[in-house]
Each structure stands twice: as C-alpha cells, then as structure tokens.
Chains A and B, each alone.
Chain A
Amino acid sequence: MNKRRWAPFKFLLIPVILYAIWVIAPIFYTIFLSFTQWDGLTAPTFIGIGNFVDLFNDPIFYTALFNNIKWLLVYVLVPLPLGLAFAMFFNRSLPGVKIFKTAIYLPLTLSFVVLSQIWTWIYQPKYGAINVTLEAIGLGNLTVAWLSNSDIVTYSLIVVGCWPQTAYTMVLFLAGLQNVPTEVMEAAKVDGANRWQRFWKVILPLLKPATIIAVAVTIIQSLRMFAIVNVMTRGGPFRSSEVLANYMYVEGFKNYSMGYASALAVILFLIILLFVSVYLYQIFKTEVEY
C-alpha cells in the first residue's frame, strides 16, 4: 500500500522537473526580465517599469499590436466560418468524400516555413501566379506588389495563415458534428424544419462547445503568429507588417535588448491569457470531473 502511495510521485518526478525547468520557470523569469535592462550577456539590471513606459511610446509597438488585431479579426471572420462551412459541406457519407477531406486537410501538415516559401513565390510581383493570372484574365490593373506594398502586406501574410487555419477549424467542427446525434437530425426533419432552420436552430446550438474551442484556438494562433512574418517579410517593408512575436524576436536576438523584448512578451502573454482562460474554463467545465 505504501508503495502504491508513492508511485504517482515517482512517475511524475521527471515530467514535473523537466516542465518546471523548461516551461514554468522561464515564464516567471520572462516576467522578471521585463523589469530589467538586459543585453543577454552581462547581468540584467532592474529598471522598474521603464520598459513598459518605453513600450507605450514606441510607434513600432503600436504597429505590431494593430497588425496582431488585424490577424485576429481576419482569422475570426474567415477561417472560422469557412471551416464550419467546409465541415457542414463535407460531413456526409458519400463515396470518395474522404479524398476531398484529405485534400482540404493537406495544408495542416505543412510547416509555416514551407507555406511561406510557396506563397512568397506566388506573390512575386512579375512572375508570381497571382499577378500572372490577373494579367491573363484582363485584370492587370489589380496587380500589386503583394509583399512590398505596406498597405496590404499584412493581409497578404494573413491569407497564408488562413489556409491551414481553415483546415484546422474544419477538423474541430467535424469533431463537434460527430457529437450531433442522428436522431436529433431525423426528429428535426420529421418536424418539417428546412435545411436552414435545422442549421441555425438544431446544429449550431449543439456545436457550441466545438465553436468555443475553435474560436479560442483561432484567436490564440492569430496572436502568436511568428513564422510567416519572420520568413516572408521579416516585419517589413519599414516594419509595416510587424507583429508582436516577431518584434520580440528581433528586439531580443538582433538588437540584444532582451529586457525590452521580455516586456513585449509579457504584453502578448496578458492578451493571450485573457482568451486562454475562456478556453481553460470550457475544458475544465466539461472534462475534468471526478
């Protein structure tokens, strides 16, 4: 009996130690660093809220924050409904549907770096597929330098992210649809509800848990986006496509102001925390019950 009492602690020992060192402690250390000036080499010096004061007077910070909000809005407005539409459309048992689903899922397996390389080529102003197609169908006046026009560059980047994100939300909604009992659907049909009514009145309410998770995951993904920006534009031209995660990386590893970068991390953390708590609440409410 005694052995059995200690067993869980033995099993958890290595996982907890590793997690404490590489995940939990760094989170607190970053919070500490955000109150210091640190070049990453010498010892950090405490400067109070100096970094945060600087931050609120930093135009690049506002650009990055504003761009993150653009990412968030487009992510919620496009991949989320589109993923739901795809899930509804492909959720049927006809032969060959699996192949279509596979096709839609594919971008999910690609690294953001691979996506970025492919899309950089597609966006190429002269020989890239988009401008070539626009010229070919007589819309030559719509051609733009997709990645060097500071007004649209962020949207060009968001499109790249929407591609796998739509597939991801589709998976989440398909998982949710599996929990919609067929009897409910049949009953609604018998009651004479049409397709549209069935969707709004029967399916959507039953998809609520899936929707909450999909919304939270989508928001978190949009806020922590790093790779697409870092690979495709490095935040340029003239910092116009900067986002918080990349700005943080640049400040820390290129400009060696890790204290300032940590302050950026803390701000990003607080914004995400807000959304994560909603998500965690949902998980705990539904699953972790003894």
Chain B
Amino acid sequence: MSKRRVLWIGSFYLIAIVISLLWLFPLFIAGTTAFKSMNEIVQNIYWWNLPDEFTFQYFAEAWNQGGMSRYFLNSFIITVPSVVGALFLSALGGFALAKYRFKYNKLILGIFIAGNMIPFQMMMFPVFEISNVLGLYDTYLAVILFHVSFQMGFCIFFLRNFIRTIPTDLLDAARVDGSSEFRIFLQIVLPLTKPALAALGILEFTWIWNDYLWGLVLLASDNLRPVTVGLVSLQGEYLSKWNIISAGSLIAAAVPLIVFLVFQRYFIQGLMMGASK
C-alpha cells in the first residue's frame, strides 16, 4: 500500500470516529445521567464526568414506582398482535394484488399506497369517534385495530412488490396438483416471502412500539398506556428528576434498540426496499 493510501485510510477512520462519537453524544448523556444522583447532577455539572458509582437504583425507581414496568408490558401487548396482524393480512392482500389479474387491481393498490401517505392526524377525530361508537375506546384493541389497518398501506405495497418476484410457475404447478388458492398462499407463497416478512416485521415492530399519537388519543387509563405515552407521564410525575427520566427513556428505548442491533440487516433492508421499490 502506498504511503498516500495509508494516510488517506487513516484519516477516514479518524473522521469516522469523531463523527460517530459526536453523533451519539445525546445517548451518552442519557446513559450517564441515569446513573447519577440528583445531588451529583446539580453539584458536578460537567456531563463528561462519569457517575460516581454505577447504581441501578434510578432504573429501578422508574421501573417500579414510575410505572415503566406496566407501560413496558402494555407496549408488548399492543405491538406484537399489531405486527402479526398487519403482516398476515398484508401478505394475503399483497398476494392477491401481485398474482391475480382483475379489474380493480391497480386501483386498490393505489388506494393502499395513497392512504399510507396521508398524514395520520387526518384520521385522529374519526378514529377516536369510531372507537367510541364501537365501545373500543380505552382498550388495547382500539389501538391494535388502528395500527393493523393503517400499517397495511405500507405493508401491502411492500409485500406485493416482493411476491411479484415469485415465479408464477411454482403456483401453477401446485394448482395442477389440486391445491386450493389459500393452501398455495400458506404453503408456497408465505414461506418464500419470509425474507420480506422479516425485514418488514422488524421495521413495523419499531414503528408501532415507538408510536405516541394513537396511544395518546385512543387510551385514557394510565394502566393501558404504552411506553411512549407512559414516559411522558413519568416526566410529569418526576419533574426535573433527570436521572429517573433518563433511566425511563432508556427503558423505553431498550427494546427497539436491541431489536435493531440484532436485526440491523433486516431493518435497513426493509427501509431500503420500502423506499426504492
């Protein structure tokens, strides 16, 4: 390697390290604050000082007294069925739009795509009202139903494009063998769609977990709130207790963060496929 190239690569790494550290500095602040006592925060104001001792006391307080444990569980109760429901129904709908020719195919696809582009605030009051009328207001189901429905816009578009790449010969072969159309979906299409479902599932999980508006609008009871809405009430409860609020923020961020770190490839693939296809 030439001297010039070594120098060039060296400066790349140097710049990359500086950018990354600057970029993650807000997370560093949250990370250290969550371990500091309020005394320490107020007296030793320099954020670059590491905590005197690493105690999980403030995490515990946010988790127990702050109610984050309940909110955390609620987020799972809302997110998991929403993701599963949206993926299954979208695979079904995406299959129909990808592999069958019928009159309103493109129109239906267009409506799903367009609906997904609409600012979701546009649906805020009617969805609130519908939930009220159906007696679903202030239940998990209200939030789940909305997430499943709204996310289908993106998911159907995404899965339809993927399923279109599956060779139709495979389906026809199964038809000759006498399989029903639904069986073909379950036994051929669904298994072949796994990579797309993985990418989409990771993405949807993060989005639904991180949702704030619908938890806020469709739920009133504190004990049903997802972790995002819960974090805001934690802030109200522990006003200016930055260590507890930081700990609560990290608890709320933990699951999407871990999911992302483990499945980064799928997450990024999902974003790329969703955007460019």
Residues of A within 8 A of B (CB): 3-5, 7-12, 14-16, 18-19, 21-27, 29-30, 33, 40, 86, 89-90, 92, 94, 96-97, 99-100, 102-115, 117-122, 124, 126-127, 129, 132-133, 136, 163, 168, 171-172, 174-176, 178-179, 209-210, 213, 217, 220, 223-224, 226-227, 230-231, 245, 248-249, 252-253, 258, 261-262, 265-266, 268-269, 272, 276, 279-280, 283-284, 287-288
Residues B85-124 near A (CB distance < 8 A): 89-90, 92-93, 95-97, 99-100, 102, 105-106, 108-115, 117-124
> Does B150 reach chain A (CB closer than 8 Å)?
yes
In Å, the complex CA distance between A168 and B23 comes to 14
Chain B residues in 8 Å Cβ range of A11: 92-93, 95-96, 181-182, 185
The answer to whether A100 touches B180 (Cβ under 8 A) is no
The answer to whether B231 touches A114 (Cβ under 8 A) is yes
Q: Which of B26, B47, B110, B175 contacts A132 (CB 8 A)?
A: B47
Chain A residues in 8 Å Cβ range of B129: 29, 40
Q: Which of A16, A224, A231 contacts B121 (CB 8 A)?
A: A224
Nearest 5 CB-CB pairs, A to B? A26-B126, A111-B210, A22-B149, A8-B96, A175-B272
Chain B residues in 8 Å Cβ range of A227: 212-213
Name which residue of chain B comes closest to A171, CB basis.
B271
In Å, the complex CA distance between A268 and B119 comes to 8
> Does B16 reach chain A (CB closer than 8 Å)?
yes
Chain B residues in 8 Å Cβ range of A25: 126
Q: Which of A40, A108, A118, A276 contacts B249 (CB 8 A)?
A: A118
Interface hit among B52-60, B191-199, B251-259: B251-259
> Does B37 reach chain A (CB closer than 8 Å)?
no
The answer to whether B121 touches A268 (Cβ under 8 A) is yes
The answer to whether B275 touches A94 (Cβ under 8 A) is no
Q: How many residues of B contact A (CB 8 A)?
A: 102
A40-B129, A118-B26, A226-B213 given; A105·B153 CB < 8 A:
no
Chain A residues in 8 Å Cβ range of B232: 113, 231
The answer to whether B149 touches A21 (Cβ under 8 A) is yes
A7-B100, A111-B252, A113-B232 given; A269·B119 CB < 8 A:
yes
The answer to whether B121 touches A245 (Cβ under 8 A) is yes
Residues of B within 8 A of A (CB): 9, 12-13, 15-17, 19-20, 23-27, 29-30, 33, 41-42, 45-47, 89-90, 92-93, 95-97, 99-100, 102, 105-106, 108-115, 117-130, 145-146, 148-150, 152-153, 156, 161, 175, 180-182, 185, 206, 209-213, 217, 227-229, 231-232, 235, 242, 245-246, 248-249, 252-253, 256-257, 259-261, 264, 267-268, 271-272, 275-277
A112-B210, A113-B228, A248-B121 given; A22·B130 CB < 8 A:
yes
Name which residue of chain A comes closest to B9, CB basis.
A94
The answer to whether B29 touches A265 (Cβ under 8 A) is no
Interchain Cβ contacts under 8 Å between A and B, 12 examples: A14-B89, A23-B115, A30-B123, A107-B26, A108-B260, A110-B256, A111-B228, A113-B229, A117-B248, A163-B26, A209-B276, A258-B125
A7-B181, A23-B115, A94-B9 given; A102·B261 CB < 8 A:
yes
A27-B115, A112-B212, A249-B121 given; A117·B231 CB < 8 A:
yes
A8-B97, A29-B126, A248-B124 given; A100·B19 CB < 8 A:
yes
Q: Which of B16, B180, B206, B229 contacts A109 (CB 8 A)?
A: B206
The answer to whether A113 touches B106 (Cβ under 8 A) is no
Chain B residues in 8 Å Cβ range of A283: 113
The answer to whether A288 touches B109 (Cβ under 8 A) is yes
In Å, the complex CA distance between A272 and B129 comes to 24
The answer to whether A15 touches B89 (Cβ under 8 A) is yes
Q: Which of A113, A118, A213, A266 contacts B246 (CB 8 A)?
A: A118
Chain B residues in 8 Å Cβ range of A99: 20
The answer to whether A132 touches B45 (Cβ under 8 A) is yes
A112-B212, A276-B114 given; A19·B242 CB < 8 A:
no
The answer to whether A171 touches B125 (Cβ under 8 A) is no
Q: 17 additional contacts, CB 8 Å, given A92-B12, A127-B41, A284-B110? A: A4-B175, A12-B108, A19-B111, A21-B130, A23-B115, A26-B126, A30-B124, A96-B13, A100-B16, A100-B19, A109-B260, A122-B29, A171-B268, A172-B275, A213-B276, A268-B121, A288-B106
A8-B102, A40-B129, A175-B272 given; A18·B149 CB < 8 A:
yes
Q: Which of B41, B97, B175, B253 contacts A114 (CB 8 A)?
A: B253
Chain B residues in 8 Å Cβ range of A40: 125, 128-129
A22-B150, A114-B252, A252-B124 given; A272·B277 CB < 8 A:
no
In Å, the complex CA distance between A34 and B221 comes to 29
The answer to whether B181 touches A3 (Cβ under 8 A) is yes
Q: Which of A22, A108, A178 contacts B146 (CB 8 A)?
A: A22
Chain B residues in 8 Å Cβ range of A279: 117
Chain A residues in 8 Å Cβ range of B277: 287
The answer to whether A12 touches B16 (Cβ under 8 A) is no
In Å, the complex CA distance between A253 and B124 comes to 10
In Å, the complex CA distance between A121 and B9 comes to 37
The answer to whether B181 touches A4 (Cβ under 8 A) is yes
Name which residue of chain A comes closest to B261, CB basis.
A102
